Structure 1
Amino acid sequence: MEKPGGVGMAGDSVDLIRLEGDGNSVVLRITGKEQQMRAGAYALAGEFVVDTPFVRGTLATWLVPEDLRRWQQALDSLDAGQDITWREGGRAPWLFIELDEDDDRCQVTIEDHSMSLTTVTVTVSLADAWFDDAYRRLDLVWDTWPLSEDED
C-alpha cells in the first residue's frame, strides 16, 4: 500500500528527495534506521539513485537528525528562489541544486569526496508543486524513522 506522494508504508523505503523530469532523475531513498559503529548512535541508511539515458548509479549514505534539519533549511531557501548546498564539507555526499531562472528546471549535482571521488550533474524539472511534495516527504521520513539528538 502506498501513501500519497508515491512513498511506501513504514518498513518500506521512503524517497526523501525526488527530482525528476525529461528522462532524468535524482532520488535520495531512505531504506531504514541503523545503529552505527560509533557509540551505538543511530542514523538513517539510504542511497542516492541517479538515472538518466546516459548514466545510472547509486551511492550509499547515512543521515543523522542534523542532516534532516538542514534539508528543511535547504528546502526553505530553494522555495525562496535561492540555489542550495546540502551537506557540503561533511562526511557524506554533497548535494547542490542550482535553479535555472528562465524555466522550471534545475541542475542537481552530487559530489562524493570520500569513496568514489565522483561528481554527477543532472538537469531535471522543478515545478512549484514539487515543493509541497518535498515537505511531505521530509515529514514522512521523520514520522517513519524518528531520530532524536540522543541517537545522533
Structure 2
Amino acid sequence: MADGPIDLIRLEGEGNSVVVRITGIHDAGLAEGPAAGDVLAGEILVDTPFVRGSTGISVFPKDLQQWQEALDALDAGQDIAWREGVRGPEVFVERDMDEERAHVTIKDGSMSLTTVTVTVPLADSWFDDAYRRLDRTWETWPLAED
C-alpha cells in the first residue's frame, strides 16, 4: 500500500495547477456497483491565483483504463476527454501545440454545476511522468478490471 495519496494526474506550471489525487480505497458504505475494494476515492484540485477549489471523485477500474487511452491520444497530439458523460466531474484537455500548453477544463455538471478552465504548460517530458503515475496507481491499488 502507498504511504499516502498518489497524484494520478498532475498538470502544473506558471502558478496554475490541476491535480487528480487518489487517496485510497473507497469506503464500503459509499460505493455503488462494484465491490468497494474496486473503487478508489480521490479528489480533483484546482489552484490558480484567481480560483481555488476541490471536489471528491470515485475512480473505477474503467476510469483508469480510459485515462490510459486518453494519455495515449494526448501524447499523439489529440485533445481528450476523461470521464466524459459520467455522473461526476469530467476532465477535458485541449493541446496548444504551438506554445506547448494545455487548456484543462474541469466540468462538474452534477454537484456544484461549475466549470473551470486552467492553462498549464505541457512539454513532451510531462508524458513519461504521467505514465509512471498511472502505473504507480495500478501497482498500489490493483483493482479488478472490467
Shift of 1:11: 3.4
Looking at structure 2, the residues matched to 38 and 10 of structure 1 have their Cα atoms a distance apart, in angstroms, of: 24
> TM-score under structure 2 normalisation?
0.92
1:138 equivalent to 2:130? Answer no
User: After the TM superposition, which residues 23-62 of structure 1 pair with which residues of structure 2 at under 5 Å, given as runs?
Assistant: 23-34=15-26, 35=28, 36-38=30-32, 40-41=35-36, 42-62=38-58
8 Å CA contact retained: 1:95, 1:109: yes
Report the secondary structure of 1:38's partner residue.
coil
8 Å CA contact retained: 1:111, 1:118: yes
Opposite residue 32 of structure 2, the aligned amino acid is R
Opposite residue 85 of structure 1, the aligned amino acid is A
Matched with 1:100 is 96
1:18 equivalent to 2:10? Answer yes
> TM-score under structure 1 normalisation?
0.89
Shift of 1:38: 3.1
Please give the per-residue CA displacement for 1:28-56, whole angstroms capped at 9, x wherever unaligned.
00000123443643311000010000000
8 Å CA contact retained: 1:11, 1:32: no
Looking at structure 1, the residues matched to 23 and 4 of structure 2 have their Cα atoms a distance apart, in angstroms, of: 7
- Aligned length, in residue pairs: 142
Looking at structure 2, the residues matched to 57 and 66 of structure 1 have their Cα atoms a distance apart, in angstroms, of: 25
> Runs of 4+ in structure 1 displaced over 4 angstroms?
none
Structure 1 pair 38–62 and aligned structure 2 pair: CA distance change class (3 A):
closer
Please, what is the CA RMSD of the aligned residues?
1.4
Looking at structure 2, the residues matched to 130 and 32 of structure 1 have their Cα atoms a distance apart, in angstroms, of: 24
